[in-house]
């Protein structure tokens, strides 16, 4: 997978690289919201990435970011 070839030097770089899509429901119906990861999400991802055990795609899946 192409995602698995991405390289990161910091959690801030993780925040700038990924855009997450979430579905929300409100009075006007369902909407998609696009956002960058929070600092906590980026820190958690980067910590797992630095261990070098999981591929990028696996980290995204296990952290609920994909």
Instruction: Look up the pTM and report it.
Output: 0.86
Residue 55: count other Cβ atoms within 10 Å of its Cβ.
15
pLDDT class of 65 with cuts at 50, 70, 90: very high
Q: Is 14 exposed, middle or buried (0-12, 13-18, 19+ CB in 10 A)?
A: buried
pLDDT tens digit sequence for 13-59: 999 999 999 999 888 889 999 999 999 999 999 999 999 999 999 99
pLDDT class of 1 with cuts at 50, 70, 90: confident
Q: What is the pLDDT of residue 26?
A: 81
């Amino acid at each position: 997978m192409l995602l698995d070839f991405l390289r990161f030097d910091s959690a801030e770089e993780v925040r700038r690289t990924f855009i997450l899509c979430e579905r929300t429901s409100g009075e006007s119906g369902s909407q998609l919201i696009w956002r960058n990861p929070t600092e906590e999400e980026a820190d958690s991802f980067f910590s797992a990435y630095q261990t070098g055990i999981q591929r990028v795609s696996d980290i995204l899946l296990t952290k609920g970011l994909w």
